[in-house]
Amino acid sequence: MHKPLLTLLASAALLTACSGEQANAGNEAASENEQSFTAIKDESPENAKPQDLETLPEFTVIDEEIDSDSLEAELVSDNSGERVLLLNKDGDEFKSIFVKETKRLKLIDIDGEGLIFNDILEVR
């Protein structure tokens, strides 16, 4: 009677010890992920200015949909996959997402209508 009980307790203690090590390993991996995310976040400047807005392939549509007079643009990210801009026009905020590979442009009215443009552009 004592042997099965002793075996059960030993197994429970062993399993508890193993799961604790796995949890610590998981916490260490999560910490590494947070550090790498922070490093990526630090590499992309928050207030980076886009190059001349008029030279971007998506500018024509932005100008048609939002009207670029007194438009303020903030580059959120510009990597090999997509370019994200935050646009401000007289207090109205918009978000522009241009997917480079497919040439798809999405314009989003953040404060109001939501998605106002979503199409593939004919860009050279």
Which tokens sit at 63?
A: 């100008």
Q: What is the tens place of the pLDDT at every residue in 54-108?
A: 888 999 999 998 887 888 899 999 999 999 999 998 889 999 999 999 999 999 9
Give 46 or 59, the one with higher predicted confidence. Answer: 59
Q: Check: CB of residue 106 under 8 Å from CB of residue 97.
A: yes
What's the mean per-residue pLDDT of the chain? 75
Average pLDDT over residues 33-52: 45
Looking at residue 76, its pLDDT comes to 92
pTM above 0.75, yes or no: no
